[in-house]
Amino acid sequence: MAINFIDLAAQQAGIRTRLDRAIANVLDQGNYIMGPQVKQFEAGLAEFCGARHALSCANGTDALSLALMALDVKAGDAVFVPSFTFAATAEVVPFIGATPIFVDVLPDTFNLDVESLKRGIQEAKKLGLTPKCVIAVDLFGLAADFDPIIAIARENGMSVIDDAAQGFGARYHGRVTGSIADITTTSFFPAKPLGCYGDGGAVFTEDEALAKLIDSYRVHGKGSHKYDNERIGMNSRLDTLQAAILIEKLALFPEEIEKRQVVAARYSEALSGLFETPYVPEGLVSTWAQYTVKTGSEAARATIQEKAKAAGVPTVVYYPIPLHAQTAFRSYPRDPEGLAVSEDLASRVLSLPMHPYLDVETQDLIIQALR
């Protein structure tokens, strides 16, 4: 039997009638850009996570750019980014003229290491850069450790952005991502826990002034008059068709997060003696964008992947090269003590099929192949 790494078709089968109706309504209305479904979806997002403001945009990368622009990050500023994450987290920083400084992550949660952050801040100051912002990533669906991160940021006059592209909907000591950091960004790329059928993203904040700036920047820097743009912005709007689809998917999202917990728990129970299985600290709930184990070595990982493939089980390595080692980022500053954990994780992590509709029979086949 064919095993899907992420099974979007299973979800679609359950809501196809609702999706068809929602799409037909948009076609009948003919309002394809910033139509009423966009505002409806934004209101639903804000209610779900408890944020005061939720503003949709074209994709998760734009969401990060909009956040940095709203915080007035510019040339001469340092933005601290974990090295073990997807490139989008870091690429937006030089894109707007600032300098990314790479910091390490923790070996158990895979999320930002506050001790490495402290060293990175000192390195930025030595280089004559102004520490301006921290981008904490909720990797694989688990919220970063925000309380100490925010405390360190405040000590140094910095803002905190939560890159929740993989972790929107995760819980951190009673709070939901989207309502924790100064600004939160997320992605609705199809493979994300809450995904559309194209590109999409959103930005969340409690701050009224920041929300107004983000709203302006996402539509060419608009002002009160359509043809009097008050600032240099971008064109980053979520189209109405995607909003209509996401409204239907958001209605399923809480139930799907619970189903992901069941899948993850079965994996951990079956594989904990064979691999280092994911660690979720007390008080946190992951959205399980990925279920990622650690193998004993890079060679062991290659062997396991080969045998899994032979058994028809797909596996993926997120991420085989940490950002600081990638060609585009090698020249940027980093924690002066190095990024050993990011390098080690890149050589040993392995992600298994994960989605809310992974039935017991299929999951048992995956587990058996790995054993």
pLDDT of the residue at 201: 98
- Residues paired with residue 55 on neighbouring β-strands, in sequence order: 203
Query: At which of 248, 265, 283 does a domain end?
Result: 248
Q: What is the mean pLDDT of residues 173-189?
A: 98
pLDDT of the residue at 124: 98
Residue 222 has pLDDT above 90, yes or no: yes
Q: What is the mean pLDDT of residues 168-188?
A: 98
Q: How far apart are CA 140 and CA 345, in angstroms?
A: 13
Q: Are residues 243 and 261 in the same domain?
A: no
Q: What is the mean pLDDT of residues 106-126?
A: 98
pLDDT of the residue at 226: 81
pLDDT of the residue at 46: 98
**2 lies in a domain?**
no
**Cα–Cα distances in Å, from 353 out to 2, 145, 295?**
12, 26, 16
State the residue range of the domain holding 78. Answer: 8-248
Residue 306 has pLDDT above 80, yes or no: yes
Q: Are residues 27 and 153 in the same domain?
A: yes
Q: Are residues 216 and 360 in the same domain?
A: no
**71 lies in a domain?**
yes
Residue 256 has pLDDT above 90, yes or no: yes
Locate the DSSP E strands across the chain: 53-57, 77-82, 99-103, 130-137, 159-163, 171-172, 175-176, 183-187, 201-205, 284-285, 291-294, 349-352
Amino acid at 184: T
Q: How far apart are CA 345 and CA 292, in angstroms?
A: 10
Asked if the bond preceding 319 is cis, omega within 30° of 0, the reply is yes
Residue 255 has pLDDT above 80, yes or no: yes
Query: At which of 248, 264, 290 does a domain end?
Result: 248
Amino acid at 109: T
Q: What is the mean pLDDT of residues 236-261?
A: 98
Q: What is the mean pLDDT of residues 289-309?
A: 97
We report the CATH number of the domain holding residue 129 as 3.40.640.10
Write the Ramachandran bin of 122: left for phi over 0, alpha for psi from -120 to 50, otherwise beta: alpha
Q: How many CB atoms lie within 10 A of CB 147?
A: 11
Q: Are residues 116 and 257 in the same domain?
A: no
Q: Are residues 133 and 20 in the same domain?
A: yes
Per-residue confidence band for 188, with pLDDT thresholds at 50, 70 and 90: very high
Q: How far apart are CA 133 and CA 156, in angstroms?
A: 9
Whether residue 7 contacts residue 260, with contact meaning beta carbons closer than 8 Å, is answered with no
Q: Are residues 239 and 284 in the same domain?
A: no
- Rounded to two decimals, what is the model's pTM? 0.96
- Classified as helix, coil or strand, 143 is coil
Residue 5 has pLDDT above 70, yes or no: yes
Q: Are residues 96 and 222 in the same domain?
A: yes
Mean pLDDT computed over every residue of the chain: 97
Q: Are residues 333 and 279 in the same domain?
A: yes
**281 lies in a domain?**
yes
We report the CATH number of the domain holding residue 309 as 3.90.1150.10
pLDDT of the residue at 352: 98
Write the Ramachandran bin of 128: left for phi over 0, alpha for psi from -120 to 50, otherwise beta: left
**282 lies in a domain?**
yes
Residue 358 has pLDDT above 90, yes or no: yes
Q: What is the mean pLDDT of residues 154-175?
A: 98
Q: What is the mean pLDDT of residues 202-206?
A: 98
Q: How far apart are CA 156 and CA 89, in angstroms?
A: 21
**97 lies in a domain?**
yes
pLDDT of the residue at 371: 87
Q: How far apart are CA 156 and CA 124, in angstroms?
A: 12
**1 lies in a domain?**
no
pLDDT of the residue at 92: 98
Q: How many CB atoms lie within 10 A of CB 125?
A: 13
pLDDT of the residue at 1: 66
Whether residue 161 contacts residue 187, with contact meaning beta carbons closer than 8 Å, is answered with no
Q: Are residues 239 and 286 in the same domain?
A: no
Q: Are residues 72 and 213 in the same domain?
A: yes
**220 lies in a domain?**
yes
**3 lies in a domain?**
no
Q: Are residues 41 and 16 in the same domain?
A: yes
Q: What is the mean pLDDT of residues 292-315?
A: 96
Q: Are residues 80 and 167 in the same domain?
A: yes
Domain count, the chain: 2
State both tokens at 215.
Answer: 């709203």
pLDDT, tens digit (0-9, with 9 covering 90-100), for 67-107: 999 999 999 999 999 999 999 999 999 999 999 999 999 99
Q: What is the mean pLDDT of residues 108-120?
A: 98
Q: Are strands 99-103 and 159-163 parallel, antiparallel or unpaired?
A: unpaired
Q: How far apart are CA 262 and CA 268, in angstroms?
A: 10
Query: At which of 198, 222, 248 does a domain end?
Result: 248
